[in-house]
Amino acid sequence: MPTLSKRTENFTDSVIRRMTRISNQYGAVNLSQGFPDFEPPRELLDRLAQVTKEDFHQYSITWGAQNFREALAEKQSRLMGRKIDPDGEIVVTCGSTEAMMAAMMTVTNPGDKVIVFSPFYENYGADTILSGAEPIYVPLYPPEFNFNSEELEAAFKQKPKALILCNPSNPCGKVFTYDELKNIADLAEKYDTFVITDEVYEHIVYEPYKHTYFASLPGMWERTISCSSLSKTYSITGWRLGYIIAPRNIIEVAKKVHDFLTVGAAAPLQEAAVTGLRFGDDYYKELQAKYTEKRDLFLRGLDDIGISHTVPQGAYYILLDISEFGYKSDLEFCEVLARDVGVGAVPGSSFFREDVNHLIRLHFAKKNETLYEALNRLENIRKKIVKL
Ligand code: GLN
């Protein structure tokens, strides 16, 4: 038999998605893969029901339905402080997962280097492998997960084609400050590098932190490929609606990459989601308040149990320190946690380039009752998990 492709040789399956399967197997409260267990906004579901009876069952325009792009352009123009052209500066994709992949394939050649901050969302590793690029990792140092500007410049000196910026950041919950973004922007300019953003948690930011769109920094529009999605903002991770916003010359190419990868995102879902894109500011304020309540509830519960953890500034993930249990493998710890305590988590090692195995990631995008149930189970963690 011929051999399979070289590019997939070093691939593992996604540990995040694997942990969902393991959680289901043990009937654990699944706080591993980040998705809500509460309903999306009623208006979206009502519109979806109507859409099934209307004429949206064939392909939409490959780079996104006109209606969707117009609504998105209006919303993002407001937020990004720049008039975005729905026809020339947007590609609608199947989730931000495709947006990131298409962005990577649009700007990199095999062998190109790409800066990735560590810890990082595990897909970026796979994205670089699939596009043949080579990651240069730059550490973010806890507890604030700040980078060292000199280390970052040393990475830029290796002539990367792009830097991947996840802001607010999964899994560490960092919200990059304006000054940090400006530092990255100055280096991107100096070393003539693209910046590919993943801003799917743009609306999940806790006071007093604020999200700054990288593309809105002076001079950065031209070199930024902004990726995001509707998954987290409207609690519709299964709809797989994402997008790329970038200057016309980049979008021209991204449109082709996207077209040949997937042709297009689901037409009826795009149409139904327009309802969400047209929500007023109140919706985003309520979303922020809802997640703030969940974050605080969950952090309080963890403090009562006495497990040390990160305090997210944005996004909905917490890293817990499990050193006291003495496990060499955080993956093994997560399996035991799902089986014996009944809570699903993701091993921290799947996010870190460095040799880190004393952290696990939990998320709190769940109904309060689900979070209380998880906390009840975690109360017994020291009884149920024997220290090694
Ligand atoms: N972004 C979410 C996480 O980190 C879900 C990722 C996914 O499975 N697409 O858990």
- Provide the residue ranges of all domains of the chain, joining segments of one domain with +: 15-40+282-381, 55-278
**Residue given tokens 């519960």 in the structure block:** 301
Which alpha helices (H) appear in 230-351, and where do they start and end? 248-262, 267-277, 281-305, 330-336
**pLDDT for 369:** 98
Count CB atoms within 10 A of the CB of residue 203. Answer: 20
Query: Pairing relation of β-strands 241-245 and 90-94?
Result: antiparallel
Tokens 């031209």 belong to residue: 222
Say how many Å lie between the CA of residue 17 and the centre of ligand 1. Answer: 8
Can you give the pLDDT at residue 11? 80
Among protein residues, the one whose CA lies closest to atom 7 of ligand 1: 33
Rg (CA), the chain: 21
Residue 7 has pLDDT above 90, yes or no: no
With the most atoms of ligand 1 within 8 angstroms of its CB, the residue from 30, 94, 170 to mutate is 170
Q: In the prediction, which pLDDT does 35 show?
A: 96
How far is the centre of ligand 1, averaged over its atoms, from the C-alpha of 376 (Å)? Answer: 25
pLDDT for res 222: 98
When pLDDT is averaged across residues 126-130 and rounded to a whole number, the result is 90
Cα distances from 285 to residues 57, 282, 292, in angstroms, run: 33, 5, 10
Residue 309 has a pLDDT of 97
Spatial separation of the C-alpha atoms in residues 224 and 99, rounded to whole Å:
13
How confident is the model over 30-35, as a mean pLDDT? 96
| pLDDT value of residue 10 | 79
CATH of region 15-40+282-381: 3.90.1150.10
Spatial separation of the C-alpha atoms in residues 85 and 318, rounded to whole Å = 37
Structure token digits, residue 215: 């593309």
Dist CA 258 CA 254 (whole Å): 6
DSSP state of 169: P
C-alpha of residue 35 to centroid of ligand 1, in Å: 7
Q: What is the pLDDT of residue 258?
A: 98
* Bridge partner residues of 138 (DSSP): 117
With 90 as the cut, is the pLDDT of residue 8 above it?
no
Percentage of the residues of the chain whose pLDDT score is greater than 90 = 96
Minimal-distance CA residue to ligand 1 atom 4: 34
Compute the mean pLDDT over every residue in the chain, rounded to the nearest whole number: 97
Nearest CA, atom 2, ligand 1 = 34
Q: Residue 388: is its pLDDT beyond 90?
A: no
Strand blocks (E) in 140-250: 162-166, 194-198, 224-229, 241-245
Is residue 12 over pLDDT 90? no
Q: 34 CA to middle of ligand 1, Å?
A: 5
Residue of 14, 16, 101, 362 to test ligand 1 pocket, by largest number of atoms within 8 Å of CB: 16
Contacts with 308 (C-beta within 8 Å, 6 or more apart), sequence order: 320, 321
Give Cα 225 to chain centroid, integer Å.
Answer: 15
169 C-beta closer than 6 A to ligand 1: no
16 lines ligand 1 (CB under 6 A): yes
pLDDT at 153 over 90: yes
Residue 9 has pLDDT above 90, yes or no: no
pLDDT digits (tens, 9 = 90+) for 258-294: 999 999 999 999 999 999 999 999 999 999 999 999 9
CA–CA distance, 173 with 362 (Å, rounded to integer): 12
Tell me the average pLDDT across 84-103.
98
Of all protein residues, whose CA lies closest to atom 5 belonging to ligand 1?
A: 34
Question: Span 114-119, mean pLDDT?
Answer: 98
Residue 33 near ligand 1, beta carbon < 6 Å: yes
In this prediction, residue 13 has a pLDDT band, given cuts at 50, 70 and 90, of confident
Crossing angle between the packed helical segments 281-305 and 368-378, to the nearest 10 degrees: 10
Q: Residue 374 Cα, ligand 1 centroid: separation in angstroms?
A: 19
CATH class for the region spanning 55-278: alpha beta
How far, in Å, are 101, 284, 292, 364 from residue 42 at the CA level? 31, 15, 21, 21
Q: Nearest-CA neighbor of 26 among 331, 343, 320, 322?
A: 343
Q: What is the pLDDT of residue 83?
A: 98
Q: Stretch 300-311: mean pLDDT, rounded? A: 97
220-252 pLDDT tens trace: 999 999 999 999 999 999 999 999 999 999 999
169: CB partners within 8 A, 6+ apart = 117, 140, 145, 175, 176, 201, 314, 315
Question: CA-CA distance, 311 to 231, in Å (whole number)?
Answer: 23
* Residue of 335, 313, 309 whose CA lies nearest to 322: 309
Say what the pLDDT of residue 283 is. 98
- Predicted local distance difference test score (pLDDT) of residue 323: 97
